[in-house]
Homo-oligomer: A and B are copies of this chain.
Amino acid sequence: MKREKYVIIGGDAAGMTAAGQIRKLQPKSQIVVYERSPHTSYSACGMPYLIGGLVENDTKLIVRTPEEFMAKKNIEAFVFHEVLSVDIKARTLEVLNIQTGKLFTESFDSLLFATGAEPIRPPIEGIDGEGVFSLSVLQDGLRLQRFIEENNPQKAVIVGGGYIGLEMAEAFCRRGMNVSLVDRSFQVMNTFDIDMADHIADAIQHVGTSLYLGETLKAIEYNNNRIKAAITDQRNIPADIVILGLGVRPHSKLAKEAGLPLGVNDSILVNQMMETEIEDIWAAGDCAQTWHLVTNKPFWVALGSVANKTGRIAGINMAGGKEHFPGVVGTAVSKHCDLEVARTGLSEKELEDLDFHYETVTIKSKVQAGYYPGAGDIHVKMIAEVPGGRVLGAQIVGAHGAAKRIDVVATAISAQMTVRQLIDLDLGYAPPFSLPWDPIQIAARQLL
């Protein structure tokens, strides 16, 4: 019997999770991973904490090195190796060893695209200059860290008020820098409705970030190769470093050039087994399409937790299994200063474009029993279908202990529960953790 050869393009969450599953199910197969950055299996999500000084050094963010993959799992992972093209008929890849400049051809029996996502960089004057950073791979974080050490920037402009933008704003505030945040929309955190996003904006301003909403970056101005200012359509903001947090898009160019069909947001089209339209070719993680369990439509999201899950499914199926990924419900959590924020399902903004009838409620309650020392505020917005009361979505903004409560709603949405069913759920109650009615249930009660 021929020894099956698996090739994986991309050595982070999805790729390495798939590799691990294949190794488990096909102990004798050959598994080769090509990763163009210098690192495998790292936590990209950890970069803001590294920059903010909360994480001591970059090695803490690396889960497993290529050497460890070889020693422990017999997986051949090559970093600094970029796949330049894929020939889906010949079942070959053209690979560039970035360090030596050498080009070679690799063959595969089964191929996984786990090429991730890439930051959006609009064609703005000065955007490619020194001192402008976006954060995608760990290398970006290390470059940024080196720049900070060498140049000691004092005035930072963050462009984009999403997760990365806000996390970087906080990291820079923590370093004592003067931070401005620009977003062309009239709120931060576009995945939240504006009423909830306003609480987040307040917290960000409270730690000293200047917020310029409804403004668009037009250019980055330099003086002797050093950033001087970020120019918006309304003002010049003095800066010596600029961070782009304008979101990411699927890194699907390679797959597209190989002739693979693309789907939502140009993500690689796959079925629920993470299989592309071409036999023996798979895709998983931030580059691949997924499904939304509320809309029942194709969906795309770039998140480490989802990449791990779809990578697992792809790996099992590549090794001969038959697992289906049900999809996502759009859950996301993050922490900004002392504020925890979370969302799941659909927001009111998203619902406006869809064919749902719904009602919403927003409540303010406490994370712990009101008398418990330090009991913090929590705001819960909940959205339910009318009639019937099926839970469509929720958003949470609150103090320590607030965010992970979204998981109950995410689970309830997956199970197609109604607000009526949420109310009777047997959730944990004790004064250090909750009121007798969990805030989620207090919101659900208002929708009855």
Q: Are A424 and B309 in contact (CB under 8 A)?
A: yes
Candidates B46, B309, B372, B433; contact of A54 at CB < 8 Å: B372
Asked whether any CB of chain B lies closer than 8 Å to the CB of A222, the reply is no
Q: Are B309 and A428 in contact (CB under 8 A)?
A: no
Neighbouring B residues of A429 by C-beta, 8 Å: 45, 303-305, 331, 333
A270 CB to closest chain B CB (Å) equals: 15
Q: Are A404 and B428 in contact (CB under 8 A)?
A: yes
Candidates B293, B407, B423; contact of A309 at CB < 8 Å: B423
Candidates B304, B305, B369, B415; contact of A415 at CB < 8 Å: B415
Across the two chains, which residue of chain B brings its CB closest to A57? B371
Stretch in contact with the other chain, from A96-104, A109-117, A180-188, A322-330? A322-330
Neighbouring B residues of A401 by C-beta, 8 Å: 401, 404
Asked whether any CB of chain B lies closer than 8 Å to the CB of A210, the reply is no
Asked whether any CB of chain B lies closer than 8 Å to the CB of A79, the reply is no
Across the two chains, which residue of chain B brings its CB closest to A367? B404
Asked whether any CB of chain B lies closer than 8 Å to the CB of A353, the reply is no
Candidates B328, B410, B436; contact of A305 at CB < 8 Å: B436
Binary per-residue interface labels of chain A (275-313) against chain B in the complex, 1 for a CB within 8 Å, 0 otherwise: 000000000000000000100000000011111110010
Q: Are B410 and A412 in contact (CB under 8 A)?
A: no
Measured CA separation A403–B438 after assembly (Å): 14
Asked whether any CB of chain B lies closer than 8 Å to the CB of A26, the reply is no
Neighbouring B residues of A407 by C-beta, 8 Å: 405, 407-408, 425, 427-428, 438
A428 CB to closest chain B CB (Å) equals: 3
Asked whether any CB of chain B lies closer than 8 Å to the CB of A61, the reply is yes
Q: Which residues of A from 363 to 396 have beta carbons under 8 Å from B?
A: 369-373
Q: Are A371 and B45 in contact (CB under 8 A)?
A: no
Q: Are A426 and B54 in contact (CB under 8 A)?
A: no
Q: Are B335 and A430 in contact (CB under 8 A)?
A: yes
Give the top 4 A-B pairs by smallest Cβ distance, nearest first.
Answer: A333-B428, A415-B415, A305-B429, A60-B371
Known contacts A55-B371, A331-B427; 20 additional CB pairs below 8 A are A49-B371, A49-B372, A55-B372, A304-B429, A305-B426, A305-B427, A325-B424, A328-B426, A330-B426, A335-B430, A401-B404, A407-B407, A407-B408, A408-B408, A408-B411, A410-B428, A411-B415, A411-B425, A412-B415, A414-B426
